[in-house]
Amino acid sequence: MTLNFSKSPEGLLPAIIQDAFTQKVLMLGYMNQEAFEKTQTEKIVTFYSRSKQRLWTKGETSGNFLYVQNIKIDCDQDTILIKARPQGAVCHTGADTCFAEDNQNPLAFLEHLQKIIKERKLQSPDTSYTASLFAKGINKIAQKVGEEAVELVIEAKDNDKNLFLNEAADLLFHYLVLLEAKNTSLDEVIAVLQQRHKK
């Protein structure tokens, strides 16, 4: 990764910090070459503080560090995008982000769940329920999806929201297992929906 620090008179480039899990933008800071290299080496975000005129590791006083997961450079080589895992609140005000947003994205959990299901596919059936489903084969997995769908329909006709939500969760989980058994992903299903939406 080559950055052009000479584009800035102070040798500082903007660094956008994004949560690697939720994809929320957490904050913006500035890095000189030394801060960038320290961040790369230690895998903890370090900025150059314009007010303190020194390197500043985010969390050095609060303990709320930003652990680096991935670093990207923009096409002009003058902006840094860091995907990180935050340890606690990011903003000095105590907020999740410096933009007063909650650092939540429930849909991101589906991606996480897909990864877990994929890992369980390769494990011994004795280790988890998910692994045991894969061991029983596609017919059993498909049957389970059907059973959960029927149970959801039954609960939909009643007024117990808690039971309905639990059945909906069961169906969604087993549906993701079925997708993995067919070596496909939710992204591919979404792509079909997106294509239909264009028509």
Class of domain 106-198: mainly alpha
Q: Do the beta carbons of residue 47 and residue 29 sit within 8 Å?
A: yes
What pLDDT sits at residue 57? 97
What pLDDT sits at residue 23? 94
What pLDDT sits at residue 100? 94
What pLDDT sits at residue 198? 82
126 three-state secondary structure = coil
The mean pLDDT of the chain is 96
The share of the chain scoring above pLDDT 70, in percent, equals 99
Number of Cβ atoms within 10 Å of the Cβ of 118:
14
Is the pLDDT at 150 greater than 90? The verdict is: yes
Q: What is the mean pLDDT of residues 37-53?
A: 97
More reliable by pLDDT, 198 or 5: 5
Confidence bin at 32 (pLDDT 50/70/90): very high
Q: What is the mean pLDDT of residues 70-74?
A: 97
d(CA 90, CA 191): 34
What pLDDT sits at residue 3? 95
Q: 106-198: same fold as 5-86?
A: no
Tens of pLDDT along 82-140?
Answer: 999 999 999 999 999 999 999 999 899 999 999 999 999 999 999 999 999 999 999 99
Q: Domain limits of the chain?
A: 5-86, 106-198
Is the pLDDT at 26 greater than 90? The verdict is: yes
Is the pLDDT at 199 greater than 80? The verdict is: no
What pLDDT sits at residue 51? 92
Q: Is 5-86 CATH 3.10.20.810?
A: yes
What pLDDT sits at residue 146? 98
State how far the alpha carbon of 113 is from the alpha carbons of 11, 90, 122, 197, in Å: 42, 25, 15, 26
- The edge-to-edge listing of strands for the beta sheet with 13-19 is 25-31, 13-19, 80-86, 66-73
Spatial CA neighbour of 114 closest among 189, 194, 191, 173: 173
Confidence bin at 60 (pLDDT 50/70/90): very high
The share of the chain scoring above pLDDT 90, in percent, equals 95
